[in-house]
Each structure stands twice: as structure tokens, then as C-alpha cells.
Structure 1
Amino acid sequence: MPPAPGAYASYIAVGDSFTEGVGDPGPDGAFLGWADRLAALLADRQARAGGGFRYANLAVRGRLLDRIVAEQVPRAVELAPDLVTFCAGGNDILRPGSDPDAIARRFEAAVAELSAAVGTVLVCTGFDTRGVPVLRHLRGRIATYTAHVRAIADQYDCPVLDLWSLRAVQDPRAWGEDRLHLSPDGHARVALRAAQVLGLEVGGEGEPAWPPLIRKAPAQVRRDNIHWAREYLVPWIGRRLRGESSGDHVLPKRPELLPLEKSAS
């Protein structure tokens, strides 16, 4: 029997920088991110119902799908929580010449493995990148992969965190200075949407309205673009040329399925 809406006593987050929470720094120096924020909402729901809650976050920035499947999926299967969020494939799509059909086949095999061991597997679509300058040219490839993810979710009865249609992240303030990762406000809005998908009562539509956007003068836009290229684009290209990843020496921030002691904020 499936749990009551929002009733999950254990949760493991699987993925890359998006799920690790890059762009959303916490008070202790580690990243928070939408998955930690979702875990806090789930833990609060369990506490109100008189139950406990355990959480692990295995995600590591820069991870490609195959490495996520090799390192994180078996651990999630072994621990068999009530809920797994599985968001992967975005870094593969960024690679020149990547094939979204082939990536989706490997994604589906992992979903099948997780679904056989886990109560609920929530999957994520890609973002609609029409408003993200550094990713706009990948929109067609991301759309193809997103269509596959939705079809896989239908086949395995997975709830879907549909980032493509989430209006809240189509505002530039949802993205951090690097233009590749969400800002704290962006992560918070994704967490609310994920909670809504899982049946939690979060109020409204899960997409708090942004205040009116103050447009920058063209000269300031040019200065911002120069700063972004120097601080983020050039180092990113350098890592690609050297075959390095931002997560080469990073370990999962919460590798064990342990009680969540305090809420993310």
C-alpha cells in the first residue's frame, strides 16, 4: 500500500550538483539545495504525525550519469528507503555530441533497478533553457531527454518533478552568478514544487511569485557578462580541456541514511 500523501520516513537523494545543492550555501559552509529543503519539509510532516525521518544525500557535483549509476544507485538500492529522488543526465547533455536517446536508455535501466527496491522513485526533467544564455543552444537536446524522462516515469509509475514547466525557475533570479546552478531562491522554489508533487500541503501552487524585476542598464549587463566570462566560463572551459570535474575530490555530504536533526532553511 502506498504511503499517505507526503508520508515518507526515509529519503535518499541521488544525482549531481543540482541535487547536491550547488548555488545554495548553508550556514556551515556546505551546500543546502532543494533536496535538503525537501527533506526538511518531509521531516516536519513526519514529526507532526509522530514519526521519525532519516535522510541521505549521495549527490556529487560534476557527476555524469554512468558514475551516478555505478556509485550512488547501488547504495540507494541497498538502503531501500521509502523515497529516492533521481535527477541525472544533465552533465551528459552538456557534452558536445551527446545523444539524449542513448542517455535516456541508461537512465531507464537505473530507474528500473531503483523501482524494484524503493517505495517511490521521483525523477526530474530537464530545465527549459530558453532564457539561460550559456545553455540556450542545448534546448532541443534537453527537450528530447525530457520527453524520454516523462515516458520512463509513466512506464515505472514515478512521480515527476517537471522542471521544464516550472515557471518559477524561468526568472533570472532563480539562477546563481555562474548561470549554471540555481540560486538559493531557485532551490527553495524547486523544493516547494517537489513537495507538492509528493503530496505535501505547501500552500498555493508551490511557486511563490517573484517581485517585479528591475531591468539593468545595457552597460551594466555588459559588465556582468565580462565578469561572468572571467570568473565562471573560462575556468569551466579550462576544466573541460584538462579532463577535470568540479567534483573530482568531493565526497557526498550526507552519505549515511541518518535521522535529520534540524530543518534546512
Structure 2
Amino acid sequence: MSGFTLGKDILSYVAVGDSFTEGLDDPYPDSARFPQGRYRGWADRFAEHLARHVREVRYANLAVRGKLLRQILTEQLPRAVELRPDLVTLCAGGNDILRPGSDPDTLADAFEGAVRQLRDTGADVVIFTGFDTGFQPVMRHLRGKIATYNMHLRGIADRYHCRVVDLWSMKIFQDRRAWSDDRLHLSAEGHRRLALRVCEVMGVPVDEDWNAPWPQEPPAPWHQARQEDLRWARQHLVPWIHRRLTGRSSGDGVRPKRPNLEPLVRR
């Protein structure tokens, strides 16, 4: 890797992706400083860690919830290339994998083209694999498709000399406390731990351990677990299916939260 170094006076970083990178469901607690509905997420947290070791971090986050890979490549990739940052994090294809009939081989071909364009600018690129969904009953059937896509991503990373954040191997995310109520997005604690893992991959010093064991808690009674499943289906699964059937997306009308490379204010 050539562009990323903590020894720089100024480091530019662009995050590209969907809701995972936008930061759902990790809202900023300080509503006085941030607009309502503005999410923090692992990318903002990672940029904050960078800012503790670099004199000035210029950070843009182009990610928008609900975006498919082709939309990310059409709407975000040209802007990322135009900004010519030192570092790009790229996570895309997850929303495609969730849809019936999607082909991980075809997705990987498109993803590779994006990596090629970003590397041609001189940017260092960090790629994220998909999570292992074997522990989630509703999405367990996607495990094989995700694993196939992951193998493609690792091959792309090897060919273009990218670092990889291997979400599949992070067993810490097989705990419900790592996830928000919708079971699709990380919780605030999940985002915090992931930011620490990205720091580890990138060689950014931190004082906390992303893999620290979760505090022990008694298992929920069977009837409580079933009630939670029913509530989740009513509040999250049914609306998600309705959006798919009507051709709508949670990202309709949503703009990137940091469309420009701007100095990050240290928190």
C-alpha cells in the first residue's frame, strides 16, 4: 500500500457503500451538533481514530442506505475517483445478495472494476467481506452465496493489493447485542467494535480490544424469544418485503452525509 501512512500531515479518506458504511443504526448522541437522523457508524468512528494520529484528516462519506452495487458504482464511484483520496473503504453488494436471483460471480466482476478504477488513482483500498449469517435463522440460507462472494473479494484484494476486513471470521458479531432491533444493521456497540477492527487492519493504534468478550447474561426464556421474533417480523421484515414488492428503497431521497472531503473536527 502506498498512499496510507500515519506519518502524513494531511490524510484524505473516502468511505463508499450502503447503510453499513453510512452508519445505521448508530445515531450521534449529540443532537445539538448533528442533524436529526444523522448516523455515526464505524466509518466515522474510524476517521476519528485516524484524527488522533494525523495532524489533519479530510473525510468524506458517500454511502447511502439501501443502495445496490450498480447504484453505488454509478452514483458514488465517480465522485470517489474525482476526490482522489489517499484511502478508500469499499463495501458493496450486500443488498444485492439479499435479493433472490442475484449472482455473486456477476457482482464480483462489477466490484473488481470499481477497485481497478480506485487503485488507478493511487488510492489505497480496503475491502470488506460479508458477515457469516449462519447464526441468523432468517438469513442462514444466504450463507453459501455470501461465502462465494467473499472468495471473489479476497481474490480481488490479492490482485490489486488491497487490505481486507474479514467480517466473516469475526465471531464477536454472532451475539445479538452487536445488532440493532432490525437484525440487519449493527448496533452502536457493533459499530464501535468494527471501527477498532478496521484500526487493527490498518495499523492505527487503539487502546481497546474489538474482540473483548461480551458480558455474560442469562438466555432469554423461550416465550420471550418467540415474542421478539414476532415483533421483529411485524416491525421490520414485513416493511422490508413491502419495499421490495413496490420497488422502493430506504435510501430514496437520502443524500450522502459527507459528500466532500472536509477536515474532521476532533471529538
**TM-score (ref. length: structure 2):** 0.93
Aligned 1:71-220 pairs, distance under 5 A: 71-203=75-207, 206-220=210-224
**Structure 2 unaligned residues grouped into runs of 5+:** none
Give the SS at the match of 1:4.
coil
Report deviation, 1:204: 6.2
Q: Structure 1: any 5+ residue segments left out of the alignment? A: none
Question: Deviation string for 1:200-232 (max 9, x for gaps)?
Answer: 122465322211132100110111011101110
CA contact 1:64–1:88 (8 Å) conserved in 2: yes
The alpha-carbon deviation at position 118 of structure 1 amounts to 3.7
Q: Alignment RMSD, CA only?
A: 1.5
2:49 is matched by which residue type in structure 1?
A: L
SS of the residue corresponding to residue 9 of structure 1 reads strand
Is 27-36 or 102-111 further displaced after alignment?
A: 27-36
Q: Is the 8 A contact 1:77 1:118 kept in 2?
A: no
Q: Give the aligned partner of residue 43 of structure 1.
A: 51
Matched, 1:69 2:69: no
State the TM-score, normalizing by the size of structure 1. 0.94
Query: Paired residue for 2:14?
Result: 12
Name the CA distance, whole Å, in 2 between partners of 1:145 and 1:214.
Answer: 36
- What SS does the aligned partner of 1:53 have? strand
For 1:36-91, what per-residue CA distance to the aligned partner results, in whole angstroms no more than 9, with x for missing partners? 10010011111xxxx21110100000000011011111111111111100000000
What is the percentage of aligned positions where both structures have the same residue? 56
SS in 2 for 1:247: coil
Amino acid at match of 1:33: G
Contact 2:4 2:124 in 1 (8 A): no
CA contact (8 A) 2:4 2:87 kept: no
Which residue of the partner structure matches residue 64 of structure 2?
60
* 77 and 230 in structure 1: CA distance in 2 versus 1, 3 angstrom threshold: same
Matched residue SS, 2:88: strand
Equivalent position of 1:23 in the other structure: 25
Query: Take 2:162 and 2:103, find their aligned partners in 1: how far apart are those partners?
Result: 23
The 1:160/1:5 distance shift into structure 2, 3 A limit, reads farther
Deviation at 1:134, TM superposition (A): 2.5
Contact in 2 for aligned 1:6/1:199 (Cα 8 Å): no
- In structure 1, distance between residues paired with 2:25 and 2:134: 20
2:254 aligned with 1:257: no
User: Per-residue deviation at 1:133?
Assistant: 2.5
Partner Cα separation in structure 1 for residue 95 and residue 7 of structure 2: 30
